[in-house]
Amino acid sequence: MSSYTHLTIADQGKGGVVRVVTIDRPKALNALNREVVRELTAVVDALGADLGKTRGLVITGGGPKAFVAGADIAAMANMSPEEARAFSSEGHTLGFKLAALPVPVIAAVNGFALGGGCEIALACDFIYAAENAKFGQPEVNLAVIPGFGGTQRLLRRVGLARALELCMTGEIIDAEEALRVGLVNKVVARGEVVDAAVATIETIAKKGPLAVAAAKQVLHKGADLVLAAANQEEIEAFASMFATSDQREGMAAFLEKRRAAFTGE
């Protein structure tokens, strides 16, 4: 496994099926700069090229105070528009690659997830939050807007009116409010958020991996299509499952009242 300057990586869960990536810049509250974004992208690229035994990815922040407290303002303060465009594009590329992974990606948010941190969390398939988590897109306080997909992913999670309110006021909300508006999937006790995310991926790892990948792909793609086109995507993906050994094994196991042994084929 490659080594990184700003990330630590460990395989957890039974059989090591969960890749846990920790953003580790404690003195900067794990703030994002170009190097962190590029290292995260490299991790995702490596997984996309060879999943091996990995059946899911968890992204979290080092220490109890922050998932990612935001982008590194010192690194951005003197950017030209061209440099800002390039930085934003790299953040968007990371988000697209997380969505393209054929395994679940969970953000385990332990503390502040502000600005770019909230955007990284939003780019994950779903979000688990510790009780002390805080979420927000406060970029307007700096006279800019979210640049890593926050405006678009936020509105798809919480609806247009709430996304407008969060992006225009810069309001920071706690974990319970984030749960109420649909920004996060689950709130757990402090210190337990990574374990909760790992446990969920262990559960998913027992399912048919091709079906999990297809469900993720259809849901992500369908979110940007009109209903009729999205339904057609589902029809084609559903049909494609019946060409797999896993489908035959899964249905045989159900009828025979035994646990299925999926192979991803």
Q: By C-alpha distance, which of 105, 152, 157, 153 is closest to 128? A: 105
Examine the residue annotation and report whether 119 is marked as an active-site residue of this protein: yes
Length of the chain, in residues? 265
The one catalytic residue in 35, 119, 131, 192 is: 119
CA distance 265 to 261: 11
Examine the residue annotation and report whether 233 is marked as an active-site residue of this protein: no
Q: What is the CA radius of gyration of the chain?
A: 19
Q: Say what the alpha-carbon torsion angle 125, 191, 34, 54 is, to the nearest 10 degrees.
A: -50
CA distance 189 to 130: 6
The one catalytic residue in 82, 139, 177, 233 is: 139
Q: By C-alpha distance, which of 132, 114, 120 is closest to 60? A: 120
CB 28 within 8 A of CB 73: no
* Residues 6 or more apart in contact with residue 207 via CB below 8 angstroms: 262
As annotated, the active-site residues are 119, 139
